[in-house]
């Protein structure tokens, strides 16, 4: 801290009462007060009477109470232990605290993070490092690549440290945890510092031999890479095991799957046929119930939609919304006056809010659906009125009925973008409608723009 020409480092309580505090001062060669020590408190201060004045390292007995009182400062600082010389704690501006040991000028090693390693364990480990350095010139742990005694296993680190952080800072933590849980069993039991790039390369090779696509392999590796990035940042490990392992090359444009005119026609026909079938089944059921004097079920003849599937599909095709965004959509976000749908940032992949204009079909579908959908706040509620969770079964049956192959729900988003580009809509407008954070994602559709490349080559 800087105040009126005086630099102060944090004050740390060491015990003892204020009434019994004894003081003594030390001065620098220039006569300026360099530090003040109390029996109860130690504070290091420097009065700036000379530009070359330096501050002595903070030295005190490190206790659990002291550790809890160490607050983050704008710059990293160290607190050296008086019980075990060479042992110290480093506090980063982020608030992370690590046990460290030094055995010579610019020769330091991280023992472990506070909260993972206990104070006693860290002191014991530091003593071993220093004994080795005295006997051999360098700690054996450094010479042989051995890690701290309490370094967690990959499983422990993911469950106890990484996922709590990930959940607080990222969306889709369930998917990430599923990827980690189902693809890295071979190394989950091993300590973080024992896992090498070679281990991960072998796992990756196994996926490729099993037929995984390069893009799938890169996605899986991205999940574990994030784990090791945090482990390195938080001083659990010195080096990232994936630092030298390059991603597999993939076609950045890929194959854009969208519906042909014939497929689009069959999909809509299948939606109508499905509804006609549901209406006929309901009428048959009601006739059976009437013959037996039972209460009739609500007729489906006079409502536009027999269930959620047709309006969901039509809105997807006309807005390009992601499936999760569709499930999260609530009625206040549908503005029939401005004819827009607002996709809130807390439900989007990029965390950015976007506003999608409703075309004539999307407006009509949502208007009719609202009249029959009940009182749920969700546009497409589940059976209990809460958030819709799964449409896979109904979707696959619809594709089978329409005789459409290799077309995912997400491909309706590609279909939306492809039709816009083929109609001559500028790529930047398509980017805004899709909510892409990077124009590179939208450039995948550039080849669909009518006549662009043909016109270009005609210029020469």
Cβ atoms of 228 and 237 within 8 Å: the answer is: yes
Mean pLDDT on 253-257: 74
Report how many helices (DSSP H) and strands (DSSP E) the chain contains, helices first: 18, 14
Type and span of the H or E element at 335: strand 334-335
Residue 347 in domain: yes
Residue 138 in domain: no
Q: What is the pTM of this model?
A: 0.57
Mean pLDDT on 188-192: 87
Mean pLDDT on 25-53: 37
Residue 68 in domain: no
pLDDT at 364 over 70: yes
Cβ atoms of 340 and 353 within 8 Å: the answer is: no
Residue 450 shares a structural domain with residue 320: yes
Residue 207 shares a structural domain with residue 302: no
| Domain end call among 233, 250, 282 | 233
Q: How many domains are contained in the chain?
A: 3
Mean pLDDT on 94-99: 88
Q: What is the pLDDT of residue 460?
A: 67
pLDDT at 341 over 70: yes
Task: Give the C-alpha distances (Å, rounded to integers) separating 362 from 47, 300, 315, 357, 429.
Answer: 71, 22, 5, 9, 19
Residue 128 in domain: no
Residue 227 shares a structural domain with residue 332: no
pLDDT band at 39 (very low <50, low <70, confident <90, very high): very low
Residue 354 shares a structural domain with residue 416: yes
| Mean pLDDT taken over the chain | 82
Residue 217 shares a structural domain with residue 265: no
Residue 427 shares a structural domain with residue 296: yes
Of 207 and 347, more confident = 207
Q: Residue 77's closest CA among 95, 102, 53? A: 95
Mean pLDDT on 216-228: 94
pLDDT at 24 over 80: no
Other CB atoms closer than 10 Å to residue 91's CB: what's the count?
21
pLDDT band at 143 (very low <50, low <70, confident <90, very high): low
Helical ranges in 60-107 per DSSP H: 64-69
Residue 280 shares a structural domain with residue 192: no
Residue 87 in domain: no
Residue 216 shares a structural domain with residue 358: no
Q: Residue 275's closest CA among 304, 299, 298? A: 304
Of 48 and 136, more confident = 136
Of 454 and 31, more confident = 454
Residue 425 in domain: yes
Q: Residues near 190 by Cβ (< 8 Å), separated by ≥ 6?
A: 153, 154, 199
pLDDT in tens, 399-453: 999 999 999 999 999 999 899 888 888 888 888 888 887 777 787 777 776 665 6
Residue 440 shares a structural domain with residue 403: yes
Other CB atoms closer than 10 Å to residue 88's CB: what's the count?
21
| Domain end call among 10, 41, 56 | 56
What backbone phi and psi angles, to 5 degrees, belong to 386? -85, -160
- Residue 434 domain boundaries: 261-455
Q: What is the pLDDT of residue 14?
A: 41
Type and span of the H or E element at 46: strand 41-47
Residue 441 shares a structural domain with residue 347: yes
Q: What's the CA gap between 66 and 214, in Å, rounded? A: 50
Three-state DSSP class for 88? strand
pLDDT in tens, 290-309: 999 999 999 999 999 999 99
Residue 134 in domain: no
Among the listed ranges 48-62, 247-261, 268-282, which one has the minimum average pLDDT value?
48-62
Q: What is the CATH number of the domain that holds 369?
A: 1.10.443.10
pLDDT at 273 over 80: yes
Residue 341 shares a structural domain with residue 445: yes
pLDDT at 49 over 60: no
Residue 196 shares a structural domain with residue 332: no
Residue 136 in domain: no
Among the listed ranges 117-121, 208-212, 224-228, 346-350, which one has the minimum average pLDDT value?
346-350
Q: What is the pLDDT of residue 47?
A: 34
């Amino acid at each position: 801290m800087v105040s009126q020409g005086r630099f102060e480092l944090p004050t740390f309580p060491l015990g003892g009462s204020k009434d019994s505090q004894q003081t003594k001062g030390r001065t620098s060669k220039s006569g300026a007060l360099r530090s003040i020590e109390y029996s109860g408190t130690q504070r290091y201060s420097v009065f700036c009477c000379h530009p070359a004045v330096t501050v002595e390292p903070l030295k005190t007995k490190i206790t659990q109470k002291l550790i809890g009182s160490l607050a983050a400062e704008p710059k990293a600082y160290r607190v050296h232990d008086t019980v075990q010389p060479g042992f110290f704690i480093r506090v980063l501006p982020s608030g992370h605290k690590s046990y460290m040991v030094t055995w010579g000028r610019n020769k330091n090693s991280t023992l472990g993070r506070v909260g993972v390693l206990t104070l006693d364990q860290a002191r014991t480990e530091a003593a071993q490092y220093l004994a080795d350095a005295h006997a051999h010139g360098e700690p054996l742990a450094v010479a042989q690549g051995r890690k701290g005694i309490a370094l967690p296993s990959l499983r422990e680190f993911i469950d106890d440290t990484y996922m709590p952080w990930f959940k607080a800072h990222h969306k889709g933590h369930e998917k990430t945890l599923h990827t980690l849980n189902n693809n890295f069993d071979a190394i989950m039991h091993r300590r973080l510092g024992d896992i090498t790039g070679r281990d991960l390369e072998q796992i990756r090779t196994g996926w490729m031999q099993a037929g995984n696509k390069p893009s799938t392999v890169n996605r899986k590796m991205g999940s574990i890479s994030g784990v090791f990035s945090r482990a390195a940042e938080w001083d659990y490990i010195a080096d990232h095991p994936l630092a030298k392992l390059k991603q597999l090359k993939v076609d950045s444009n890929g194959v854009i799957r969208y519906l042909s005119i014939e497929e689009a026609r069959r999909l809509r026909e299948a939606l109508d046929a499905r509804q006609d079938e549901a209406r006929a089944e309901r009428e048959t059921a009601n006739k059976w119930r009437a013959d037996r004097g039972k209460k009739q079920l609500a007729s489906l003849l006079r409502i536009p939609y027999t269930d959620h599937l047709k309006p969901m599909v039509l809105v997807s095709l006309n807005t390009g919304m992601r499936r999760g965004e569709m499930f999260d959509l609530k009625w206040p976000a549908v503005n029939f006056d401005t004819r827009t749908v607002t996709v809130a940032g807390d439900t989007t992949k990029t965390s950015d809010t976007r506003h999608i204009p409703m075309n004539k079909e999307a407006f009509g579908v949502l208007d009719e659906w609202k009249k029959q959908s009940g009182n749920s706040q969700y546009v497409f509620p589940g059976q209990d009125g809460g958030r819709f969770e799964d449409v896979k079964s109904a979707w696959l049956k619809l594709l089978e009925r329409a005789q459409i192959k290799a077309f995912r729900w997400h491909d309706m988003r590609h279909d939306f973008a492809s039709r816009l580009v083929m109609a001559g809509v500028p790529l930047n407008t398509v980017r805004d409608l899709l909510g892409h954070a990077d124009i590179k994602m939208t450039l995948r559709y550039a080849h669909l723009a009518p006549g662009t490349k043909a016109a270009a080559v005609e210029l020469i």
